[in-house]
Chains A and B, each alone.
Chain A
């Protein structure tokens, strides 16, 4: 079956997930925009203001995918970086996502239904958020301050890959 008509591409996709007008919830989008400015060869950058099944549509036919999202943990420090694998990120603030299909479930569904089109490698970069309640296009200061170094770290990893 074909979901989106894309042919198989040996490329990397970076997806920033979040709501860009909900303070730190949009940190993944902010980082994605910085990465897009770099125009790294072989790397596509997308913004995803939803998650779950929309994410599944997006990642198909890529070999490597990096998903950047906000996270709220019990004892995290705002701006702190968490890296995770496909199986262990249910704690993200998007856990109960559109129509209840969280990212983990959507990816598992993809592996089940269209496994040959799923990326061989999916990594998660989650940034600890301070405010995911107030409507604002700006990040809170500690999260904003962490963005440049997180961008550099992701760029280094993408170039290495």
Chain B
């Protein structure tokens, strides 16, 4: 194969507004607007997202036990994450303690979700930029182009292992795409020894594929000086933010359960909170040009799209999690975590990794962890026990949090004594990252577009600044009942309306 095409030749534009629409390879029809000043430099940039209206109203008055199968309809990408967060919220609403078997089955199911989601992101969304190059022609810069470059055999392995992740979810969760097994205090379905053994075999294969993926990242990205130049470009892809993510009692990463830890720009713990305390930590900022709210750390405050200790913007997802944790409980993920730590230390970095494109490295480490944890759980013969339901009490109010592949996911419900939903609030992963994504887009646009000179490759490099967050817009604007349709999406640099378009 020929080498990746990293740069192309920019041409001068006289336009004041550059639109990247729709954002390629992103769930939902988002749009980036870049506004240039008279000198042709970037005045500002916005990431706008579509909305999905009336979900909160849709849920009020329904039985709360319906919510795990309703909230997972918010999204075709991460329904399993919504299902898990929702089920955990029901544990809290019903003051129900899930049995050990139920907890293991939920986590096993969830490792299937991570395996399939992180494989899909890395190979379908990230690999086109890394294997073919950010400036490769756009009609080749996709997963088919990746297959052309790396070969059909590797492509088939990608599809196979992603499918294994789906299959594990199907066995444990009842359905592959929109699961239905979560109940307060447990799960609805016992698994057989035959199913367990089948999952163990698939998990073994996934662990090997995780190793292969890490090697591929090393060979293609980390060994390529031009790419490392991009990754380490602090003008375009570097934000010193706070970070948030779930950890276990030893501060090791956990996707399913634990406390939520926040660290500062130096890596020092700012707060560690229980799910029920999230409103003490997070507040939400509203901008006039988008329906998606922008959470920030309440104790720090909102100061706009800037990084640094005085800005309450935080990041979640793979980069957030790797910065809040002190390692992994599984050996291969831990080894790669140490490799990353050494690499950044050799670069003189102390504390968290603030390089935005390091999301990708963190994601493949997490893929390895998810596969190893999946194997641990699938090898545990006790998971076939019939002890899958704990006791439930009268419903009240509760919060459930898990780590979605894209970041911290919060579900908060209140119920009347009959179990009917009286309140629902959700903060989804992409919403948690939204302020940071915007800040990254502005930073990359300002660094990469100068003197009105643009090219497809440059614009794709702007997209790379937010694509690495793996944003999923379809559920990010869920709770905005009564808002007008998202039609106004062209604005001047000062944010005032310039034109009206439909967004789909």
Residues of chain A having any CB pair with chain B under 8 Å? 1, 3-4, 19-22, 48-51, 53-54, 56-57, 72, 93, 95-101, 105, 108-109, 112-114, 132-136
B: residues with CB less than 8 A from A are 22-29, 50-55, 57-58, 70, 73, 76-77, 79, 117, 120-121, 124-125, 142-144, 147, 152, 155-156, 159-160, 162-163, 166-167, 176-178, 485-486, 504
Closest B residue by C-beta to A93: B504
Query: What separation, in Å, do the CA atoms of A96 and B339 have in the docked complex?
Result: 35
Residues of chain A lying within 8 A (CB to CB) of residue B23:
96
Choose from B52, B167, B486, B504 the contact partner of A135 (Cβ within 8 Å).
Answer: B52
Distance A98 CA – B125 CA, assembled complex (angstroms):
11
Closest A residue to B162 by beta carbon equals: A53
A-B contact count (CB 8 A): 110
Q: Known: A100-B125, A136-B58. Is A49-B159 also a contact (CB below 8 A)?
A: no
A19 and B76 within 8 A (CB): yes
Contact of A49 among B53, B76, B155, B167 (CB under 8 A): B76
CB of B73 within 8 A of CB of A105, answer: no
Docked-complex contact B152 and A113, CB < 8 angstroms: yes
Q: Which residues of B contact A96 (CB under 8 A)?
A: 22-29
A56 x B159 contact (CB < 8 A):
yes
Nearest A-chain residue to B178, judged by Cβ: A49
Pairwise interchain contact A57-B176, C-beta atoms closer than 8 A = yes
A29 to chain B, nearest CB (A): 10
A83 to chain B, nearest CB (A): 21
Besides A49-B76, A135-B54, 7 other CB < 8 A contacts? A22-B73, A50-B177, A51-B76, A53-B124, A101-B120, A105-B142, A113-B159
Q: Which chain A residues border B160 with CB–CB below 8 Å?
A: 1, 3
The answer for the CA separation of A99 and B471 in the assembled complex, in Å, is 9
Cβ contact within 8 Å between A99 and B144: no
> Which residues of A lie under 8 Å from residue B77 when comparing CB positions?
50, 98-99
Can you offer 6 A-B residue contacts whose CB atoms are under 8 A? A96-B26, A96-B28, A105-B143, A133-B50, A135-B58, A136-B54
Residues of B within 8 A of A98 (CB): 27, 76-77, 120
Residues of B within 8 A of A19 (CB): 73, 76
A135 to chain B, nearest CB (A): 4
Q: Distance in Å from the Cβ of A106 to the closest Cβ of chain B?
A: 9
State whether B54 touches A4 (Cβ < 8 A). Answer: no
Chain B residue with Cβ nearest A48: B177
**Given the known A-B contacts A19-B76, A50-B76, A134-B53, are A3 and B27 also in contact in the complex, defined by CB atoms under 8 Å?**
no
The 8 Å CB contact of B155, one of A21, A48, A57, A109, is A109
User: In the complex the two chains form, is A101's CB within 8 Å of B155's CB?
Assistant: no
Shortest C-beta distance, A15 to chain B (Å), equals 12
**Complex-state Cα separation, A40 to B117, whole angstroms:** 35
Is A113 a contact of B167 with CB atoms below 8 Å? Answer: no
